[in-house]
Amino acid sequence: MTRRWTITSLLLLLIYVCSRSANAQTQIPEQTNTIDLEAALPEPRAYIPDSQYLDFVYHNHEELTRFLRATSARYPNLTALYSIGKSIQGRELWVLVVSSSPYEHMLGKPDVKYVGNIHGNEPVGRELLLHLIQYLVSSYETDQYVKWLLDNTRIHIMPSMNPDGYAVSKEGTCDGGQGRYNARGFDLNRNFPDYFKQNNKRGQPETDAVKDWISKIQFVLSGSLHGGALVASYPYDNTPNASPLGAVFQTYSAAPSLTPDDDVFKHLSLVYAKNHAKMSRGVACKSATPAFENGITNGAAWYPLTGGMQDYQYVWYGCMEVTLEISCCKYPPAYELRKYWEDNQLSMIKFLAEAHRGVQGFVFDNNNNPIERASLKIKGRDVGFQTTKHGEFWRILLPGYYKLEVFAEGFAPREIEFVVVEQHPTLLNVTLTPSKRTEGSLPISQLYRPVPGPPPHLYRPPTPGYSGDSGLFSSITSGLNNLYSNLFG
């Protein structure tokens, strides 16, 4: 792919350079690798697995654990293995970091992740993530694209969020709910706090572990791998209900529920779908299931659900997650796994690279000390994000002209204009000066009070109005949604 500059891009870049010189007062720390020329790199190469280490078969929890430990031992400079907790039945919830800096955070290097097998009977993603690990570590020295990605990104891969459910699932079962839930019978993708509705389902060890995990690491981009359909589904998954009766019929006449970053979510979904061998064709899995234009859909427009993981991560922590439904059959025969890998390999790589699109930088005080947990948002997009303990921030944006709003306790707010171009991320530093408090003034956390529930340092859209479900209507709605999700993903 050649690098092309349009007149518009050049003009935008000129505006950006001028605005950057006027607004940036410090220099971004030197990074070990550049991230400008992703488009100029050759495409990732096809991967042929070495069956000595990993074959196209399903792996139980003990086999999965052995593979992760062996890979970490073989590639100590590229991998780091850790557990975020345990399932109800005591199985480790493993995560493997794949990066040229696996054990320590490098300044300016974003954290991204994949999570598989959140529904235990949807294990294709579980196996593809093992092959993604093997592909990345074995290609680092020979594939320029993989080397660029690992040199500039910390990739956290969680092959199975629901190992207990997987243990009771049956190969060859394309539909149904056996193994979908955790060992207590909870659907883990309905178990997170919800922006639109109060979620009264008791928190489970697996979801509690994930919530703790993402509260500690500022993830920029995430993909959740599922089965039962062939589509990339983006937030919001839920939508406000006008009445309990409306919630019942919403399953069959659903409408889109769009985020302030709808353009970005559609773009991320299209990146996955168009690099997939089949997804962008929008072909229905079965005659009775929906077809999706370009292989993407808004989650609520497909069918609304309460307590989904992607909505929670976006609203609470600013992480952009897309749900990736990658197999029409939930648990296909093992001999089909090679085909699924070939269909998804390029998509999985290209999707992660999108973390290097948009704006990134640092927030400092006037002594060049990083400001941790500064609150940021793009003006007009009222879902916020925050800085790391090193003062870093990232936001995926499409080319255009934007304003960044920055707030931190004890500092005067700032608004900075910047331009995003297609060819490379915009690098932006922000220096905040101490605020002059006047008697009776309120702290930032009270001036910008969020809706109840999410952390107080983030920004969200105004609280939507809805009538809570209750009684018979709630039971009918829940039953219909469970039936729909069991059939179609």
The alpha-helical segments, DSSP class H, found in 115-219 are 124-139, 144-152, 163-167, 205-216
How far apart CA 68 and CA 46 sit, in angstroms, is: 22
Catalytic member of 325, 354, 392, 405: 325
Of 419, 358, 353, which Cα lies nearest the Cα of 385? 358
Count CA atoms within 13 Å of residue 38 on its CB side: 20
Helix%, strand%, coil% for the chain, nearest 5: 35, 20, 45
Contact 305, 189 (CB under 8 A): yes
How far apart CA 352 and CA 129 sit, in angstroms, is: 13
Give CA separation, 340 vs 46, 232, 288, 327, 426, in Å. Answer: 13, 15, 23, 8, 35
Single-letter amino acid, residue 14: L
Q: Any idea what DSSP says for residue 36? A: S
Of 189, 149, 220, 152, which Cα lies nearest the Cα of 394? 220
Query: Can 422 be counted among the known catalytic residues?
Result: no
Contact 47, 345 (CB under 8 A): yes
Of 167, 165, 153, 128, which Cα lies nearest the Cα of 49? 128
Report the 10 Å Cβ neighbour count for 289.
16
How far apart CA 55 and CA 125 sit, in angstroms, is: 15
Q: Catalytic residue positions?
A: 325
